[in-house]
C-alpha cells in the first residue's frame, strides 16, 4: 500500500470520501511482475489507482473488489498459470500470486487514516501494518510514522489490531503477547522491509476476529493472525568519491536506483563542476576525513554504499581503511587488476586485516566489457543490484533458464 501513497492525495475517490477496496499482493512466487506489498485501489464507481500485474489479473481483481464492497467482507484470491485452461485468469509469466482484497470507506478509520500520510516527502519514514486474515472485522490497519523508533510492545493500537482487547487476558499475558508480536514485527519495521507475519494466539485462548474457518467477528479463533508489514525508511545513501568522468556517469545512474547520492572530492575546482549537479550533496573534503565525520555523526548505516573512484593511492588507501571498518552494504573501488593488487598491498601495509579486505569489491563492477564512463556506471550499478539481491551469477537473459523476475519469495515469519 505504501507504493500508492504518493498518488493517493490527488485521487478523486479518496478526496471525495467514496467507498473503495484495496487489493494487495501478500505472497508471490516464481516469475511475477510485482513484489508483495504492491497494491491497487478500486472505487465503487470503478476508478482504479495502481496495478498488480501489468494487466494479467487486473480485470478479475476489479470484479472481486466490487463484490467485496457490496458484501462488506474480505477475501483472498490466488492467481497462477493454468496449462489446462488457456483462458483462465492467471499469470502468463508462470508465477503465482495471492491477493488480499478488503473494503475501505472514506472515514477516519479507513481511507482517512491513509490520506493523512499521502503525498509529502517520499523519503520520510513510514510503515503500515495490516490484518490480512480472510474476513477479519477488527481495525484493518496501523500507520506508523517512524518505524525506526516505534514502541511496538507498548502500543495500544497494535493490541487493538491483534484483537487483544476482546480477550480476558491478565496484564502479564497481554504484555507477553505484545512482546512476542514485537519480536517478529521489529526486524521488518527497522529494516524497511515488507513481509508476512503469522502470530499464533496466546496460549490458552484465541485471538479475536474471524479466522480461516469463518468464526464470527468478536468471537475467538485458534487460527493465526496474519499481518502484512510494509516499512519504508529514508533512501539508502551512496557515496561517490572522485569528481571525474566516472563519477559524473555514476551519480545519475545511482539516483535511478533510488539512492541518495553524495559526491565527495578534495579538489574544489573539480567538485564544483556543473556535471555533478544531479548529486543530492557535493562535499569538498579529504575523502577519509569526510567519511569518518559522517560515520561519527550517525549518517552511515548498514544500507550505505561506498564507491571509490579516485584511483589515486593517497586518497584510496586512507579512505578504504576507514570504509572497511564500517558496517555498510558495499565497498567498491575502481581500477585495473594491477592497481587492485597494488591497492591490496598498500592496505595490508596499513594494517587492514585480511578478513576486512575480503569485503572489498575491486575492481568494482560486473564483467560486462565496459569501457566508457557510461558503460562503467552500468557495470557498477549492475553489481550493486547483484550484491543487494544475492545473485551470484548474472548471465545474459537469453542464456538463462530460470524466471526473469527472480524476486525473493515473500518474507514470512511464523510464531508457533
CA-to-CA dists, residue 293 to 68, 181, 214, angstroms: 54, 37, 57
Residues 121 and 5: their CA atoms lie apart, in Å, by: 10
Same domain flag for 174 and 100: no
H-helix segments, 32-151? 58-71, 111-115
Q: Of 191, 217, 234, which one is at a domain's C-terminal end?
A: 234
Q: Is residue 318 part of a domain?
A: yes
- Could you tell me the residue range of the domain that residue 65 belongs to? 1-107
Same domain flag for 96 and 135: no
Q: Of 196, 216, 234, which one is at a domain's C-terminal end?
A: 234
Number of folded domains that form the chain: 3
Residues 71 and 101: their CA atoms lie apart, in Å, by: 12
Q: Is residue 35 part of a domain?
A: yes
Q: What is the DSSP string of 164-196?
A: GGGS---HHHHHHHHHHHHHHHHHHHHHT-EEE
Same domain flag for 299 and 273: yes
Q: Is residue 266 part of a domain?
A: yes
364-368 contacts, C-beta under 8 A, 24 or more apart: 364/307, 364/308, 364/332, 364/333, 364/334, 365/332, 365/334, 366/394
H-helix segments, 257-402? 268-271, 287-296, 313-323, 337-349, 354-357, 373-389
- The set of cell numbers assigned to 353 is 586485516
Of the chain, the percentage scoring pLDDT greater than 90 comes to 33
Write the Ramachandran bin of 373: left for phi over 0, alpha for psi from -120 to 50, otherwise beta: alpha
Taking alpha carbons only, the member of 370, 387, 191, 395 closest to residue 307 is 387
Same domain flag for 331 and 193: no
Q: Of 214, 234, 254, which one is at a domain's C-terminal end?
A: 234
Residues 88 and 335: their CA atoms lie apart, in Å, by: 53
Q: Is residue 294 part of a domain?
A: yes
Same domain flag for 60 and 152: no
Name the pLDDT band for 141 (thresholds 50, 70, 90). confident
Decide which of 127 and 401 is more confident: 127
Name the pLDDT band for 113 (thresholds 50, 70, 90). low
Same domain flag for 175 and 250: no
Kindly tell me if the per-residue pLDDT of 211 is higher than 60.
Answer: no
Selection from 31-45, 133-147, 162-176, 233-247 with the highest mean pLDDT: 233-247
Mean pLDDT confidence for 119-134: 76
Kindly tell me if the per-residue pLDDT of 22 is higher than 80.
Answer: yes
Same domain flag for 342 and 195: no
Residues 327/297, Cβ–Cβ less than 8 Å: no
Q: Is residue 131 part of a domain?
A: yes
For the stretch 377-400, pLDDT in tens is: 999 999 999 888 777 666 554 455
pLDDT confidence of residue 139: 55
Same domain flag for 137 and 219: yes
Same domain flag for 130 and 103: no
Beta pairing partners, 315: none
Query: Helix or strand or coil: residue 308?
Result: strand
Q: Is residue 409 part of a domain?
A: no
State how far Cα 83 lies from the chain centre.
33
H-helix segments, 350-372? 354-357
pLDDT confidence of residue 106: 58
Q: Is residue 307 part of a domain?
A: yes
pTM above 0.85, yes or no: no
Same domain flag for 134 and 193: yes
Q: Is residue 176 part of a domain?
A: yes
Name the pLDDT band for 260 (thresholds 50, 70, 90). very high
pLDDT confidence of residue 279: 96
Query: For residue 355, what is the domain's CATH number?
Result: 3.40.50.720
Same domain flag for 7 and 142: no
pLDDT confidence of residue 353: 92
Same domain flag for 296 and 182: no
Amino acid at each position: 500500500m505504501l507504493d500508492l501513497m504518493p498518488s493517493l492525495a490527488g485521487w478523486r475517490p479518496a478526496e471525495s470520501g467514496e467507498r473503495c477496496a484495496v487489493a494487495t499482493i501478500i505472497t508471490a512466487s516464481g516469475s511475477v511482475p510485482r513484489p508483495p506489498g504492491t497494491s491497487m485501489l478500486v472505487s465503487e464507481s470503478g476508478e482504479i489507482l495502481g496495478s498488480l500485474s501489468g494487466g494479467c489479473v487486473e480485470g478479475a481483481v476489479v470484479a472481486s473488489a466490487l463484490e467485496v464492497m457490496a458484501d462488506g467482507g474480505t477475501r483472498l484470491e490466488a492467481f497462477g498459470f493454468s496449462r489446462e485452461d488457456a483462458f483462465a485468469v492467471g499469470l502468463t509469466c508462470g508465477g503465482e500470486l495471492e491477493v488480499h482484497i478488503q473494503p475501505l470507506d472514506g472515514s477516519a478509520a479507513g481511507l482517512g487514516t491513509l490520506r493523512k500520510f499521502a503525498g509529502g516527502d517520499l523519503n520520510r519514514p513510514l510503515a503500515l501494518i495490516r490484518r490480512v486474515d480472510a474476513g477479519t472485522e477488527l481495525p484493518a490497519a496501523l500507520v506508523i510514522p517512524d518505524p525506526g523508533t516505534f514502541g511496538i510492545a507498548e502500543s495500544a493500537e497494535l493490541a487493538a489490531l491483534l484483537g487483544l482487547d476482546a480477550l480476558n487476558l491478565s496484564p502479564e499475558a497481554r504484555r507477553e503477547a505484545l512482546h512476542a508480536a514485537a519480536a517478529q514485527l521489529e526486524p521488518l519495521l527497522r529494516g524497511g522491509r515488507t513481509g508476512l507475519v503469522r502470530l499464533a494466539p496466546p496460549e490458552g485462548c484465541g485471538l479475536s476476529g474471524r479466522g480461516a474457518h469463518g468464526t464470527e467477528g468478536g468471537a475467538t479463533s485458534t487460527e493465526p493472525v496474519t499481518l502484512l508489514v510494509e516499512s519504508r525508511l529514508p533512501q539508502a545513501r551512496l557515496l561517490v568519491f572522485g569528481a571525474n568522468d566516472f563519477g559524473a556517469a555514476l551519480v545519475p545512474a545511482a539516483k535511478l536506483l533510488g539512492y541518495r547520492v553524495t559526491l565527495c572530492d578534495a579538489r574544489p575546482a573539480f567538485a564544483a563542476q556543473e556535471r555533478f549537479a544531479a548529486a543530492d550533496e557535493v562535499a569538498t573534503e579529504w575523502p577519509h576525513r569526510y567519511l569518518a565525520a559522517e560515520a561519527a555523526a550517525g549518517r552511515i548505516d548498514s544500507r550505505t554504499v561506498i564507491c571509490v573512484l579516485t584511483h589515486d593511492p593517497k586518497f584510496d588507501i586512507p579512505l578504504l581503511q576507514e570504509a572497511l571498518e564500517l558496517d555498510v552494504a558495499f565497498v567498491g573501488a575502481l581500477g585495473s587488476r594491477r592497481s587492485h593488487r597494488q591497492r591490496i598491498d598498500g592496505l595490508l601495509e596499513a594494517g587492514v586485516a585480511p578478513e576486512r579486505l575480503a569485503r572489498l569489491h575491486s575492481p568494482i563492477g560486473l564483467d560486462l566489457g565496459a569501457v566508457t564512463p557510461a558503460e562503467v556506471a552500468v557495470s557498477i550499478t549492475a553489481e550493486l543490484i547483484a550484491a543487494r539481491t544475492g545473485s551470484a551469477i548474472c548471465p545474459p537473459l537469453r542464456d538463462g533458464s530460470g524466471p526473469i523476475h527472480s524476486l525473493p519469495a515473500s518474507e514470512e515469519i511464523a510464531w508457533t
